[in-house]
Chains A and B, each alone.
Chain A
Amino acid sequence: MPPKSNKAGRILGRVAREHFVGRGEALRELVALAAPAAPPRSVLLLAAPHAGASELLRQTYDELFAQRGGASPVYFDFTRKDRTASAAARRFLHTFLAQAIAHRRHDPALVPAAPPLRALLDLASPSDYEWVEGLVESFERAQGEGDERSLVRVCFGAPRLAAARGARTLVLLDDVHAAEHLGGEVELGPELAQAAAQAGVPFALAGLRRRLLDLLNGAAALAGPDSTRTIHLSALRDADARALLEHLARERGVALNDETRDLAVQQLGGSPAFISALVGAASAARSSLESFRDFQKLYVDELMGGAIHRRFSAVLEEAAPSPALRRGLLRVLHESATNVGGKSPVEVWLKRLGLDALELERLMRALHAHELASFQATYVEATPGPVWSDFLRASYRLQVSVEPRALVVADTLVEALKRAPRTMARHYRRESALRLGDLLRRFDFQRVPASLLHYDRYARLYRGVPADEVAAGLEAETDLVRLPQIVHSASCAWFHPPVAQVCDEERCAVAHGFDTAAYADSGEVVWVAAEVESKLEAGRALTEVWLDRLAQVAAACGFERVRLWLVAPEGFSADASELLHERGAFGSSRRQLELLAARLGAGVAPEAANEFAMEIPMGEDTELIAAHTVEQIARRMEFEPEAINQIKTALVEACINATEHSLSTERKIYNRFRVEDDKLVITVSSRGLSAPGYVSDNGASFVENHNGHESGEGLRGRRGWGLKVIRTLMDDVEFERVDDGTRLRMTKYLRK
């Protein structure tokens, strides 16, 4: 559950609280730092580039500002614009005082206004006056002495001094990695770590995950099991990214359809920054996101000159300030990216860029921090990823090959459009993968029925047998296999890249472990597992190909004791099973895998689709078509005939209500039928107006007040029974909040 929303509204947040998705847990954790009784812990927020760490801190700030009684939030972001550590320190002190006083006075207007220090002194409440004055005087004294280190310590020591006088703060430091670019005598990273460790108040330090720890000197000063906590912030999960995109599109009036939304989420890698940039661009161009073409046009514009372009360009400028070096950098990056495996030797980089080792290291540090390339001992690897790769390719062609811009734009757009179906196909395949690696990690010396790893045995005993009998049979089996304890598992492709050419990385796993409790050479074993695609039972030839592939991975990696395991959706033919036995390999069907996962405490989503969706036009008795559809579904679920009639009638009434009350201009009703083990859940929604009884959720009384012919009312007075009928016939009836129109959810439970 998200924390209580900020009633005072946004102060620093750029996204409405209700639209800030996918970071609920991190937000709660940061907000909790400020609780009155919370210990003075610090949090290191290690963020991937463009993952939205800044917005998380700003949302934390807004959330805390609205709360009374806890620590006062202070948000400060480091920027290269400060140029020197002392300038950053001065700005910090100013920000600290302005925000602490703003919170303690409950005056949000002070936050952006940030009056001069002496003016802040006048604004401080009597209880704060003494420590604020002391701080300002210390600052002025240190500034007068010209001792930079002393000045930095006075400024970043402000939270400690304030806390000692009863003014507790939570300091949220953003973009801490930028502090390493600030000039001057003082190295800010260790100073910050020191200040956080000694402040006696909670600190949150956020920055790029590849730089933050190094910058803070390994956070040694912060170290301590109870005093520091680390939060990792990566790209949004798909569902959260979809929700964010929908929210932003709605907020900015950009039309969006589901297909384009899903493509955007995949192509932009769930990055909140890129998603926000795209929607912003659509809004500015008054364009919609209702087709792949709409999206890709905006995407290419963003790559060539929009916010995405500026983000990458800024990093390249930071890494290679001179235009000539930047062009050289684009060339070597592009060449690395187009090499097999995306790698190129360090010598090539040194030679092409004309840099010495130290200069190259500095350049690589910037690229590495922003995750655009990795620097290993002897080679450089360009980071894969569609957005960065597209930017790199387009920039290379424009700036290095000096191709006409129109040609580059056209080619990039055409390529992006051609790639879109592949992007979605990849997404669907990834989602449907069985995630063998996750399952392997759960083995942990557990004993399972051998029939779950030998398809022929499973088929002989259980194929076509009711589920409860299968469960009882497995329970009674005495031939058990003791699984190893897996200590590490990862995709085969990470061990042996050529595998990626024949198999998605999620569908093939290498798992290192031990099959004896003692971690000894003799017990060491490597399981190599793969999902085999086959609509029928996998035949011998296909099985042989896959066994050979996995054996090749094992040989290439030098694995000694190896166990091969193949999983085919429908299992294996008799001769394929024979081959598996001959090679000492395991073979399971998807069903076996589900049963195994259940025993190991890991769920594998059932393959069968459990939701039906139907869109019908309003009018012309189309509700009858929906009723006949739900009848078929209810029959399959083995509802009693009377219950089926009730469901049909309720659905008809819901459709009629949607037709009569919505004034929908699109004249469509969206029906969804979700089949669950014990119930059928029907959702009927339409855009347009909400009927009065619907929005207030008091339909029953609305209906009952209008029930009658007995009062002698005419035809009109006999209407409005729909909701009463629905409530009577269904077990649960609920209205879900939607921005536009009405969504009614009705549930009927199976009673067997």
Chain B
Amino acid sequence: MPEPAAPPVSPGGVEVAVVYAGDYVNKLSGQRIERECLLRLESGCRGLVINFRGTELVNSIGVSILLGVIEAAEERGTRVVFSHLSRHTVKLFDLLGLTRHVFLAETDEAALATRGEFAAAPPQGH
């Protein structure tokens, strides 16, 4: 089961949410991630970190949902960072073109350290 999202943190005054992906990213858990992320975006978060620690497998349905999250975040001028990705998952995301649209960070701390990127992202949409 995926862990609940961590409370937002505010590195450099930019509110960033960390969402945990869980062990298997499929349709169900992907939709759960999507809902968490959209909720955070609605509440004004300017940064999203999706933490893949312990993620064993990501299937193509999960990937498609993650792409939806990235799109939604981009529309709001919010950057998405993937953290704790296994090498295999990175390769899979590379194959399917996800890595062109997100930052990759080894840890959450490294992800939060990219706050400059979060702050620099121009707001779009509402």
Q: Chain A interface (Cβ within 8 Å of chain B)?
A: 621, 623-624, 627, 642, 645-646, 648-649, 652-653, 656, 707-710, 714-715, 718-719, 721-722, 724-725, 728
Contact = CB atoms under 8 A, between A and B. Distances in A.
Interface string B62-106: 011101101100000000000000111000100111000100000
A624 B92 contact: no
A656 B58 CA distance: 12
A627 B97 CA distance: 24
A189 B117 CA distance: 99
A432 B56 CA distance: 41
A707 B98 CA distance: 11
B59 A656 contact: yes
B57 A624 contact: yes
A621 B24 contact: yes
Contacts of A724: 95-96
18 contacts: A621-B24, A621-B28, A642-B88, A645-B57, A646-B88, A649-B59, A649-B92, A653-B60, A709-B71, A709-B97, A709-B101, A715-B64, A719-B60, A719-B64, A722-B60, A725-B60, A725-B96, A728-B95
Contact of A721 (B56, B64, B71, B88): B64
Interface of B: 24, 26, 28, 56-61, 63-65, 67-68, 70-71, 86-88, 92, 95-97, 101
A721 B63 contact: yes
Contacts of B63: 718, 721
A interface: dominant SS: helix
Contacts of A652: 57, 59
Most buried by A among B24, B64, B71: B64
Contacts of B64: 715, 718-719, 721
A128 B42 CA distance: 92
9 closest pairs, A vs B, by CB? A718-B64, A645-B88, A721-B60, A709-B67, A652-B59, A722-B60, A718-B67, A715-B68, A719-B64
Contacts of B59: 623, 649, 652-653, 656
Nearest to A653: B60
Nearest to B68: A715
Given A642-B87, A652-B57, A725 B24 contact: no
Contacts of B24: 621, 624
Contacts of A715: 64-65, 68
Contacts of B61: 656, 719
Contact of A649 (B28, B65, B88, B101): B88
B47 to A, nearest CB: 20
Contact of B57 (A648, A707, A710): A648
Contacts of A708: 97
Nearest to A723: B60
Nearest to B59: A652
A97 B97 CA distance: 72
Contacts of A707: 96-97
A649 B87 contact: no
A652 B63 CA distance: 13
Contacts of A721: 60, 63-64, 96
Contacts of B95: 724-725, 728
Interface centre among B24, B26, B88 (most CB of A within 10 A): B88
B105 to A, nearest CB: 21
A92 B36 CA distance: 86
B123 to A, nearest CB: 20
Contacts of A646: 88
